[in-house]
Amino acid sequence: MFSLPCRNIRRKLPPKQYLTFVRCYEIPKHLVKVATDPDPSFYRMVEYFYHSAVKVCEPALVEYLKKHTHFSDKKRTNRVAGILKVMGSCNSSLQFEFPLQRKSGEYEIIHGYRSQHSVHRLPCKGGIRFSDEVDLGEVKALAALMTYKCACSNIPFGGAKGGVAIDPKKYTVAELQRITRRYTLELAKKNYIGAGIDVPAPDVNTSGREMSWIVDTYIKTLGYKDLNAAACVTGKPIHGGGIRGRVEATGRGVFMTISTFIHEPKYMQMINLEPGFKGKTAIIQGFGNVGSYAAMYLEQHGVKIIGVLEYDCNLANSDGIKAKELHNYKMNNKGSAKGFTGAREVGPEIIFEKCDILIVAAKEKTITVDVAKKLNCKIIGEGANGPTLPAADVILREKKILVLPDLLANAGGVTVSYFEFLKNLNHVSFGKLSIKFWRDSNTALLDSVEKSLKEANVEAKVVPTELFQTMMSGASEKHIVNSGLEYSMTNACLNVMRAAKEYNLGLDLRTAAYITAIEKIFVTYDEQGLAI
């Protein structure tokens, strides 16, 4: 699972040789303006980041193809260019409309979307969001990010994303259920959902509840004969085939990414920050699924949450906002943080307050040039997809702010979705078959130690320690998910650090993460071919 194609690519070259090549790759003309555009389209932004990374790593890709000794130079450069074109384009998109009869009796037309950016690995994977800002461009951008995110973290999926253009706050639960079921039927009819095809998951304004409706609709219709139908969607509630740890996974992954970098003296030196979490402060933009769990894990490790920005109010408390309390308050207050007594309400300028860590976990394009100029943090953890504009990204680097990019930092969700997918295909929970065996064998081990001592005339009761008690039964599903997530996130961070070092990218971890993904996908296309 965790092969390192990047190193395969770079190993073909004498050390650092690829840095000295003449860089001839040109960013496509329609993207050049994106570098300075104060409001580029989201899809163009992702394309721009992709091509900026290609510009850096293309010479190494050409060199890598020298392994095909029978290729002429022209054939080699054509193949590289071909693979890069395929990798940078969106495979297919679906756009549809359907009627909804509202509770009032009136009819409304609902707009649904799903884009499959890459199908080099199947199924393709990515969440579904409900938001009145959803359109085809947004969904394509998010699908592209899924392609690079999965590859960067070695998750063997293609990239996809979907959405419904509604503000869910304006609909009843029954209406939302009808919308979700009809959306699923449209995907099913058009072959855009299925365990081997395309597997959605939660994203903005969707959760286990919507995933339950999706799996139920699929199983009762197109998937009724499919043994693996439950794997048509992830992020399901536990009783509906979900996995422990998926709800927290994205926030947990954001935390783990920050943890990996904040304990890395070399990076901390670059931004002039003391390594470790001790004494650190954080501000959270978007206290939803991703932001709230990231905040809770930071708090558990000693970080003080001094500010929270939400869609309807902003909060500050220099003594620390209790993340769990705010999370519970919001859940019981129709999703609003307004009225929370553990902090005072302030203006949106709280985002510019001095802090060590800023988590952006609301939506795309929140870090504009103006915002970047005024930020006063040291590390940004991109929980959201696409929060930073390219022009703002440059400013952040100039200000020596370490940006942990979306495709790396928020990959925890899709990673645990992958575990859920495997659980569904296996038709058994992780740990279930071995748990009794491990408990029995560890009990037998303690008994035999006690017996041996007795035979040596040492009278002692061998009692397991508290820690051993918790581990005696071997790994539970929760243990496996959390350790698997940690392993995967840490590996991805190390691979990105390695790319940053080998391509001399300094604080530009976004380019390093894209390169990590590009090199991985490149090898897949080279090995399996890209055209029939």
Ligand X SMILES: NC(=O)C1=CN([C@@H]2O[C@H](COP(=O)(O)OP(=O)(O)OC[C@H]3O[C@@H](n4cnc5c(N)ncnc54)[C@H](O)[C@@H]3O)[C@@H](O)[C@H]2O)C=CC1
Ligand Y SMILES: O=C(O)CCC(=O)C(=O)O
**Which positions are catalytic?**
161
Binding mask 324-363 for ligand X (x = CB under 6 A): -------------------------------------xxx
**Sequence-distant (≥ 6) Cβ neighbours of residue 310 within 8 angstroms:** 286, 287, 336, 337
Alpha helices in 271-367 (DSSP H): 289-300, 323-331
Instruction: Decide: is 290 part of the binding site for ligand X (CB under 6 A).
Output: yes
Least CB distance to ligand Y at residue 276 (A): 28
Contact pattern from residue 128 through residue 167 relative to ligand Y, giving x for each residue in contact according to CB under 6 A and a dash for the rest: ---------------------x------------------
Please pick, from the candidates 315, 413, 485, 493, the single residue that binds ligand X as defined by CB under 6 A.
Answer: 413
Rounded to the nearest 5°, which phi and psi values hold at 198?
-160, 125
Residue 113 CB, nearest approach to ligand X (Å): 14
Quote the tokens at residue 191.
Answer: 């072959």
Residue 384 contact partner, candidates ligand X, ligand Y, none, CB within 5 to 8 A by sort of partner: ligand X
Q: Pick the closer one to ligand X by CB: 59 or 286.
A: 286
Hunting for tokens 């998910």 — which residue is that?
A: 481
Burial class (CB in 10 A: 0-12, 13-18, 19+), 226: middle
Instruction: Report the C-alpha gap between 198 and 188 in whole angstroms.
Output: 10
- Please tell me whether residue 289 binds ligand X under the rule CB under 6 A: yes
- Give the interface segment with ligand Y, choosing from 72-80, 125-133, 445-453, 474-482 (CB under 6 A): 125-133
Return the number of the residue (57 or 493) whose C-beta is nearest ligand X.
493
Question: DSSP letter string over 249-283?
Answer: HHHHHHHHHHHHHHT-HHHHHHTT--SSSTT-EEE
Q: Does 188 contact ligand X by CB under 6 A?
A: no
Write each residue from 174 to 203 as x if it is in contact with ligand Y (CB under 6 A), else as -, in one continuous string. ---------------------------x-x
Contacts of 46 (CB under 8 A, 6+ apart): 141, 144, 145, 386
What's the number of CA atoms in the CB half-sphere (13 Å) around residue 224? 5
88 versus 245: smaller Cβ distance to ligand X: 245
Selected from 59, 126, 162, 381, the binder of ligand Y by CB under 6 A is: 126
241 binds, among ligand Y, ligand X, none (CB under 5 to 8 A by kind): none
**Strand bridging mode 357-360 / 379-382:** parallel
The Cα–Cα gap between 282 and 379 comes to 9
Both structure tokens of 504: 């001399």
Which amino acid would we find at residue 237? Answer: P
Contact string 372-411 vs ligand Y (x = CB under 6 A): -------------x------------------------x-
Q: Is 383 in the site for ligand X (CB under 6 A)?
A: yes
- The residues that bridge with 344 in the sheet, in sequence order, are 316
Exactly one of 384, 401, 485, 489 binds ligand X (CB under 6 A); that residue is 384
Interaction mask 219-238, ligand Y, x per CB under 6 A: ---------------xx---
Position 287, amino acid: F
Q: How far is the CB of 96 from ligand Y (least distance, A)?
A: 20
Q: Is 89 annotated as a binding residue?
A: no
Contact 360, 382 (CB under 8 A): yes
CA pair distance 178, 43, nearest whole angstrom? 30
Query: Do 526 and 67 contact (CB within 8 A), yes or no?
Result: no
Both structure tokens of 150: 């999965």
- The verdict on 286 binding ligand X (CB under 6 A) reads yes
What single-letter amino acid sits at 424? N
Binds ligand Y by CB under 6 A, chosen from 413, 481, 492, 503: 413
* Using rule CB under 6 A, residue 282 touches ligand Y: no
Question: Is 150 one of the binding residues for ligand X (CB under 6 A)?
Answer: no
Alpha helices in 375-508 (DSSP H): 390-398, 406-409, 412-426, 435-455, 466-471, 477-502
Q: Does 127 bind ligand Y (CB under 6 A)?
A: yes
- Asked if residue 514 lies in contact with residue 148, where contact means CB atoms within 8 angstroms, the answer is yes
Give the span between the Cα atoms of 58 and 56, in whole angstroms: 6
Per CB under 6 A, does 116 bind ligand Y? no
Binding partner selected for residue 415 from ligand X, ligand Y, none, CB under the kind-specific 5 to 8 Å limit: none
Q: Within 13 Å and on the Cβ side, how many CA atoms surround 346?
A: 17
Q: Is 366 in the site for ligand Y (CB under 6 A)?
A: no
Q: Which does 182 bind (CB under 5 to 8 A by kind): ligand Y, ligand X, none?
A: none
Rule CB under 6 A: say whether 248 interacts with ligand X: no
Return the number of the residue (183 or 340) whose C-beta is nearest ligand Y: 183
> Per the annotation, does 149 bind a ligand?
yes
Return the number of the residue (286 or 307) whose C-beta is nearest ligand Y.
Answer: 286
Q: What is the DSSP letter of 25?
A: P
Task: Check binding of 415 to ligand X (CB under 6 A).
Answer: no
Residue 59 vs 126, nearer CB to ligand Y: 126
Toward ligand X, which CB reaches closer, 6 or 290?
290
Binding-site partner at residue 131 among ligand X, ligand Y, none, CB < 5 to 8 Å by type = none
User: Cα–Cα distance between 236 and 233 in angstroms, integer?
Assistant: 7
> In 3D, which of 248, 270, 376 has the Cα closest to residue 324?
248
Which parts are annotated binding residues for substrate?
A: 125, 149, 417
Q: Which spans of this chain sit near ligand Y (rule: CB under 6 A)?
A: 125-127, 149, 201, 203, 234-235, 385, 410, 413-414, 417
